[in-house]
Chains A and B, each alone.
Chain A
Amino acid sequence: MTTFQVANIDYIAILPLLIVFGTAVIGVLVEAFVGRERRHTIQATLAVAGLLAAFVAVIVATGHMGLTLGHVDTATDRHLFALSIDGPALFMQGALLLLSVLGVLTMAERLGGTGSDTFTPSGASTPGSQIEAVSARAGLITSEVFPLAMISVGGMMLFPTVNDLIGMFVALEVLSLPLYVLTGLARRRRLLSQEASLKYFLLGAFSSAFFLFGTALLYGYAGSVYFRDLSQAVSAGPISMNGLLVPGAFLVFVGLFFKIGAVPFHAWTPDAYQGAPTPVTGFMAACTKAAAFGAILRLAYTGLDTARWEWTNGLIVVAILTMVVGSVLAVTQTDMKRLLAYSAISHAGFILVGVIAFDQKGISSVLFYTVAYGFSTIAAFAIVGLVRQGGSEATHLSQWAGLGRNHPLVAGTFAFLLLAFAGIPLTSGFVAKYVVFSAAIGTGGATGTGLVIIGIVCSAITVFVYLRIIVLMYFSDAPDDTVAFVTPSAVTTFSIAIGTMVTLALGVLPAALLDLADRSSVFIR
C-alpha cells in the first residue's frame, strides 16, 4: 500500500511560529516556577522579547517562501502541505507580531500596582465574593495573561498561513480559546466581563461548529481538505454536486465572518468589546481582525477561487450589511467601547469591499487596511483604558465632555485617531480606504462601484459618529466632576505614541508599506 513519506519541513520558514509557541510554553513554566513579585516583569519582558525575535525570524523567513510541512504525493501529483509560507502569510505574520507587541505592552500597564492594572487578581472567583477580596488582599496577580496572549498570537499567525481546512480550524480554535479567557478577566465591572466572555465563547463555539460542518461538506465535495485540491475539484467537478459545495462554502465563510464581526454574525462584538479588559479589546480588534482577514483572503483566493460565482453575491450582501449596520448603529451608541465596536464592524465591511476586488490589488489593499486600522485601534483603546472617573474607566460618552480643555494632548491624540477612523486625508485611514475602494472600482465593475458608493455613504455616517466625540471633547464644557486621564507608565505611552505615529506616517508617506503589500500579494498553493 502507501509507503510512509517523510514530511519536508523548512524550519527557518516556520521559525516565527515556533518562537511564538515556544515563548508561550516557557511562559507557562515561568508561571509555575517564578515568584509572584517578579513574575509580571518577567512574563511581560519574555512576551515582548519573543514577539520581537519572531519578527526578526519573519524577515529571515522571507528568503524561504514556499510550501512546507508536508510532501508531494508523487502517485497523484498532489501537494499535501500543511503550511504555505508566502507573501500574504508572512506580511500578516509580521503585522500581527508588531501589533501584538503594542497590545502586550498595553496589557502590561501596572499603574503602580503589582500586577496588570486591568486584569482581576483571580479570574475564577465570583465577583464580589469573599475569595475575590482575599485574593486581592493577598496580592495575587494574573500574569498568565501573557502566555495566553502568546498562544493566541500563535494561532493568529497560523490562521492566514495554513493550507487546508482542518489546519484553519485548528488555528481558529488556538487563537480563540485564549481570547475567551482573556475577555473574562477584567478587574472592574467583572460581571459584565464574565458575561461578555460567556457570550463570546458560546457564539464562538457555534461559529466553530459552522466552520467544521462546512469543512465536512467541502470534504465530501472535493475528497480533500487541501485548498489546492478544493480549487481543482471545483474547476473539474460536476455541477450536480453543488448541493455540497454551496452550503459548504457558505458555512465555512460564516465561521470566518464571525471572527471579523461581519453582519449578521456580529452580535458578540459590542458585548465582548465592552466587557473585555480594554487592552484585550484593542488587541482583539486589531489582531483578530487582521488574522481573520488573512484567512478569508487565503480561502477566497486559493481554496474557493474557482467557485467564486457561487458565493460572491453572498459576500457582497454581507459587505453591504456590515458597512450599513456598523455605521448606522454606531450613531446611537452611548458607550465609548461599544461605539468603537460598531466602528470596528463598519471597518470590517470596508475591508470586505477590498476582498471582493479579486485581484492582486484587492489582496494588497486588504493587507494595508488591516495594518493601518490595527495600529490606530490599539492606540485608541489604550487611551480609552486610561480615561477614568472615580477609579474605573469612564466609558460613557458624556464622561468625555471637556477632555480637550483639561488634557489637550490626550484629547488631541484621540481626536487624530478618530479622524483616521473617519478616513480624513493625511491619516492612514484615508489611504487605507482609498486603496480598498480603488481596487473595488478598478476590477469590480459596476458592482464594485456600487459597493464603493455605499461605502462612501457609510463613511459619511461614521464621520458624524466620530465628530460627535470630538465635539464632546472640545466644544462642550466639562462637568464638575471632571474625568481624569491617568498618566500611564512608559510602556503604554510607547504603544500609544507608536500607534499614533504609524497612523500619521502611513497617511503622509504610505509608499513603502504599499510597496511591501504589493510585493506580498501573491499566494503560493
Chain B
Amino acid sequence: MTDMSTVPWLTILGVIPLVGAFVVAFLPGSAENAKRVAVATSILTLVVGIVAATRFDTSSAAQFQLGEQKSWIPQLGVSYALGVDGIALVLILMSLVLTPICMLAAWHDVSESESGAQRVKTYFALLLVLETFMVGVFAATDVFLFYVFFEAMLIPVYFLIGNYGGPRRQYAAMKFLLFGLTGGLIMLVAVIALYLQGPGGADGFMMDKLTGLQFDPTTGRLLFVGFFLAFAIKAPMVPFHTWLPDAATESTPATATLLVGVLDKVGTFGMIRFCLQLFPEASAWATPVVIVLAVLAVLYGALLAIGQTDMMRLIAYTSVSHFGFIVLGIFAFTNIGGAGASLYMLNHGFSTAALFLFAGMFIYRRGSKRIPDYGGWQKVTPVLAGVFLAAGMSTLALPGLSNFVSEFLVLVGAFPTQPAAAVIGASGIIFAALYILLMYKRMATGPRPEGLSGVRDLSVREKVVAAPLVAFFLIIGFFPNLALDVINPAVDTSLSHVQSTVAVTPALAEGSTK
C-alpha cells in the first residue's frame, strides 16, 4: 500500500523556492548573481521533485501519496494537508521543469542598467514565489488549503504582469486579477457551504471527508456552479476567456508561459479533482452546457487565433481552443477521454511554453510582437525558426509529437458519449493547422529580410531552454505511457464517482487506453 514516508517531500518542494525567493530578493550586489541563485534554486527544487517522484508508487497511483496532514485552523475545520495522486504529481513535475526553463528564457527580460538591480531581483523572486504556490495548489488535499493557494497565487502573477509587462500592463494586470478574484470569491461561498454540508469537525475540509456526500440536488448543483465558475474563469473557458489574451500579450514570455501553461491548468485540474469527485450528480446535470461551451471554445479560440496579428495573442487564443479540448475530454466521462484530457494538460504546458518562449526569442531580436514585421526569418535564425516550427507542429497535433496523443485520446474518448461534440471538435485540428502554419509562413518563409546583419541565432542559454522542450515533444509523442501509466489510475478514480451516478455503459467507459 502507500509508502508512509516520514520525509515531508511536498512541503520541502514548496519551501525551497520560497526561501530562495527571499534570498534572491534581498541578495546584495548585482542582479547577475541573484539570477544565478534563482535558477539554481529552481533546479534544486526540480531535483528534489524528481527524488520525491521516485518515492511515488505508480502501482497505486490512484491514491494520495507522499501525504502530510497537520491541523492548521481546527476551529474552521482546516488542515494543512498535502498529497499527490498521479495527475497532481505529473502537473507538479511539469511546473518544476518549466520554472527553470522560464527563468533561463527570462534572463534579459528586465534590463538591469535601465531599471536597477532591485527590479530584476524582484522579478526572479516573484517567479520563485509563484513556484511555491504552484506546488501547493496541485498538492493540497484540503479544500480550504487549495482555495488559499488558488487565490494567493494571483498576487505574484498580478505583480509580474503589472510591473514587468508591456505598455498596457496596468489594464491587463487589473483585468486578470479582477476576473480571478471574482471567480475565487464565488467559489468561496461554495467552499463555506460545502463544509457546512459535510461532516464538519476539526478536519472537515479534507477531501476524503467531503467525497461521496449526499446532497439535496439543488444544493449540490449550486455548489457545483460555485466551483465550476471559478475554474471556468481560470481555465479559461469561453465566455470567461477575455482576460487571457490581454494578460498573455502584455506580460513577459516567461510570465505568459507560467500563467497559461501552469496556472490555467488549475482550472481544469480543479474540474477533475473537485467538480467531478465532489459533485458527481451535479456534474452530470451540467454536462450538456459544459460540452457546448467546450466545443464553442475549441472553434472560437481557433478562429480568433487565425485572425491575430500579435503572436502572443495568437498563442493565447490557441490555448483557449486547447482548453476546450481538455474540458471536452473531462466531461466526456469516459476513461479514455479523462486520460486524454489529463495528458493534454501536461502536453499543452510544454507546447505553450515552447511557443511563448520561442516567440519571446523572436521578439527579443526583432523588437516587435507583430507577425507582419517578420518574414524570411528561417534564413536569419534557422535554428530558432526550426524549433519554433517543432513547437508549432506539436501544437497542431502532428502524429509523433506529444499533443497528437492527447488530442486523439480526447476525441476517441468523447465520441462514445458525446458523438456530435467529438465530430465538431475534430474540426479544431484543421483550424490548428491553419493558424500555426499561417503564422510560420508569414514569419519564417519568404525572402531574407534586409538590415538584420547583427541578429544572431540561438545562444547557448537559449539552446538550453529549447532542448528539453523539443525533447519532451518527441518522448511523449512516442512513449505516451510514461505519463499515462501514472495518470490513468487517478483519472479512473475521479471518474468512478461520476460513472456510478451517470448511466455510462461499462463497455463504453472501460475500453482500452492502449
A514 near B75 (CB under 8 angstroms)?
yes
A232 at the interface (CB under 8 A from B): no
Q: Decide if A441 is an interface residue (CB 8 Å cutoff).
A: yes
Residue A73 lies at the interface, judged by CB distance under 8 Å to chain B: no
**By DSSP majority rule, is chain A's interface helix, strand, loop, or mixed?**
helix
Q: From residue 437 to 474 of chain A, which have CB atoms closer than 8 A to chain B?
A: 437-438, 441-442, 449, 452-453, 456, 459-460, 463-464, 467, 471, 474
Q: B339 to chain A: closest CB distance in Å?
A: 32
A126: min CB distance to chain B, Å: 45
How far does the alpha carbon of A100 sit from the alpha carbon of B72 in the complex, in Å?
30
Stretch at the interface among A82-90, A418-426, A478-486: A418-426
Q: Is B162 an interface residue (CB 8 A)?
A: yes
- Residues of A contacting B163 in the complex (Cβ-Cβ under 8 angstroms): 474-475
Q: Which residues of A contact B151 (CB under 8 A)?
A: 424-425, 430
User: Does the CB pair A474–B162 fall under 8 Å?
Assistant: yes
Do B192 and A438 touch (CB < 8 A)? yes
* With A424-B151, A424-B155, A474-B162 as contacts: A437 and B192 at CB distance below 8 Å: yes
Are B75 and A511 in contact (CB-based, < 8 A)? yes
Besides the contacts A456-B185, A471-B173, what 13 more A-B pairs have beta carbons closer than 8 Å? A424-B151, A424-B155, A425-B148, A431-B76, A438-B76, A441-B193, A452-B189, A453-B189, A460-B181, A471-B170, A474-B162, A514-B75, A515-B74
Return chain A residues, CB-CB under 8 Å to B181. Answer: 460, 463
When C-beta atoms are compared, the residue in chain A nearest to B151 turns out to be A425
Interface residues on B, range: 20 to 34
Query: What separation, in Å, do the CA atoms of A460 and B174 have in the docked complex?
Result: 12
Partner of B74, one of A426, A456, A511: A511
Asked whether A408 lies within 8 Å of B118 as measured between CB atoms, the reply is yes
Interface 1/0s, chain B 171-186, versus A by CB < 8 A? 0011001100110011
Bound-state Cα–Cα, A464 to B176, Å: 11
Residues B152 and A426 in contact, CB atoms below 8 Å apart: yes
- B122 closest partner in A (C-beta): A408
Given contacts A438-B76, A463-B177, A514-B75, contact A475 B162 (CB under 8 A): yes
- 19 A-B pairs whose Cβ atoms sit less than 8 Å apart in the complex: A408-B118, A424-B154, A425-B149, A426-B152, A430-B151, A431-B76, A437-B192, A438-B195, A441-B189, A441-B193, A442-B192, A452-B192, A463-B178, A471-B162, A474-B159, A475-B169, A511-B74, A514-B76, A515-B75
Shortest Cβ distance from B164 into A: residue: A475
A460 touches B162 (CB 8 A): no
The residue from A434, A442, A471, A510 contacting B188, defined by CB atoms under 8 A apart: A434
Given contacts A426-B148, A471-B162, A518-B75, contact A441 B196 (CB under 8 A): yes
Q: How far is the CB of A331 from chain B (nearest CB, A)?
A: 12
B73 at the interface (CB under 8 A from A): yes
| 0 or 1 for each of B54-77: is its CB under 8 Å from A? (1 = yes) | 000000000000000001111110
Cα of A408 to Cα of B147 in the assembled complex, Å: 29
* Cβ–Cβ < 8 Å partners of A424 in chain B: 151-152, 154-155
Chain B nearest CB from A519 CB (Å) reads: 10
Contact A459 B162 (CB under 8 A): no
Question: Top 9 A-B pairs ranked by shortest CB distance?
Answer: A425-B148, A514-B75, A438-B192, A456-B185, A425-B151, A475-B162, A425-B152, A475-B170, A511-B73
A-B contacts, CB under 8 A, total: 82
A438 to B462, CA, bound (A): 50
In angstroms, how far is the closest chain A Cβ from the Cβ of B162? 5
Given A426-B148, A449-B193, A475-B169, are A460 and B73 also a contact pair (CB < 8 Å)?
A: no
Q: Give chain B residues whose Cβ lies under 8 Å from the Cβ of A514.
A: 73, 75-76
Q: Which residues of B contact A449 (CB under 8 A)?
A: 189, 193
Closest to A443 in B: B196
Interface residues on A, range: 20 to 34
Q: Does A102 contact B (CB under 8 A)?
A: no
**Which chain B residue shows the least CB distance to A364?**
B75
A463 to B149, CA, bound (A): 18
Cβ contact within 8 Å between B174 and A434 = no
A residues in contact (CB < 8 Å) with B? 408, 419, 424-426, 430-431, 434-435, 437-438, 441-442, 449, 452-453, 456, 459-460, 463-464, 467, 471, 474-476, 510-511, 514-515, 518
Shortest beta-carbon distance, B222 to chain A, in Å?
9
Chain A proximity of B340: nearest CB distance (Å): 33
CA distance A322 to B196 in the complex (A): 27
Chain A positions within 8 Å of B173 at CB level:
471, 475
- With the chains together, A510 CA to B186 CA distance in Å? 23
The CA-CA distance from A437 to B195 in the complex, in Å, is 12
- Taken together as a complex, chains A and B put the C-alpha atoms of A514 and B195 apart, in Å, by 17
Q: Smallest Cβ distance from A74 to chain B, in angstroms? A: 41
Contacts of B162 in A (CB 8 A): 471, 474-475
Mark contacts of B132-159 with chain A using CB atoms, 8 A cut-off: 1 yes-contact digit, 0 otherwise: 0000000000000001110110110011
Other-chain residue from A438, A460, A464, A471 in contact with B185 (beta carbon distance below 8 A): A460
- CB < 8 Å: which of B170, B178, B196 contacts A438? B196
- The interface residues of chain B lying within 8 Å CB-to-CB of A511 are 71-75
Q: When chains A and B are docked, how far (Å) is the Cα of A425 from the Cα of B181?
A: 11
Shortest distance from the beta carbon of A409 to any chain B beta carbon, whole Å: 11
Query: Within the assembled complex, what's the spacing in Å between the Cα atoms of A499 and B497?
Result: 47
Residue interface mask B436-475, A partner, CB < 8 A = 1? 0000000000000000000000000000000000000000
Minimum distance in angstroms from A421 CB to a CB of chain B: 13
**Bound complex: CA A453 to CA B229 (Å):** 14
State in angstroms the CA–CA spacing of A205 and B408 once bound together: 75
Enumerate chain A residues within 8 angstroms of B193, measured Cβ to Cβ. 441, 449
Known: A424-B155, A511-B75, A518-B75. A460 touches B196 (CB 8 A): no
Q: For residue B307, give the distance in angstroms from its CB to the closest CB of chain A.
A: 30
Question: How far, in Å, is A111 (CB) from chain B's closest CB?
Answer: 27
B75 contacts across to A, CB distance below 8 A: 511, 514-515, 518
Residues of B within 8 A of A419 (CB): 155
Q: How far is the CA of A520 from the CA of B434 in the complex (A)?
A: 67
Question: How far, in angstroms, from A438 to B169 measured CA to CA in the complex?
Answer: 36
Q: How far is the CA of A426 from the CA of B144 in the complex (A)?
A: 12
Most B CB atoms within 10 A — which of A419, A437, A475? A475
Q: How far is the CB of A359 from chain B (nearest CB, A)?
A: 13
Given contacts A463-B177, A464-B178, A471-B173, contact A437 B188 (CB under 8 A): yes
A-chain residues with CB within 8 Å of residue B148 when the two chains form the complex = 425-426, 430
Task: Give bound CA distance, A484 to B154, whole Å.
Answer: 30
Residues in A neighbouring B169, C-beta threshold 8 A: 475
A33 to chain B, nearest CB (A): 50
Residues of B within 8 A of A460 (CB): 178, 181-182, 185
Considering the chains assembled together, what is the distance between the CA atoms of A419 and B156 in angstroms? 12
A467 to B177, CA, bound (A): 9
A459 and B185 form a contact (CB under 8 A): yes
Taken together as a complex, chains A and B put the C-alpha atoms of A424 and B154 apart, in Å, by 9
Q: Least Cβ distance of A115 to chain B in Å?
A: 37
Which residue of B75, B174, B177, B178 has the most chain A CB atoms within 10 A of its CB atom?
B75
Distance in Å from the Cβ of B308 to the closest Cβ of chain A?
25
Docked CA distance A508–B15 (Å): 15
Contact of B189 among A426, A456, A510, A515 (CB under 8 A): A456
B147: chain A residues at CB < 8 Å are: 425
Let me know if B174 and A467 touch, CB within 8 A: yes
Residues of A within 8 A of B76 (CB): 431, 434-435, 438, 514
With CB as the reference atom, state the residue of chain A lying closest to B185. A456
CA A225 to CA B13, docked complex, whole Å: 62
> Which residue of chain B has the shortest Cβ distance to A416 in the bound complex?
B155
Please determine whether B186 and A442 come into contact, CB atoms closer than 8 angstroms: no
Which residues of B have CB within 8 Å of A438? 76, 192, 195-196
How far does the alpha carbon of A463 sit from the alpha carbon of B186 in the complex, in Å?
Answer: 14
Point out the residues of chain B lying under 8 angstroms from A442, CB to CB: 192, 196
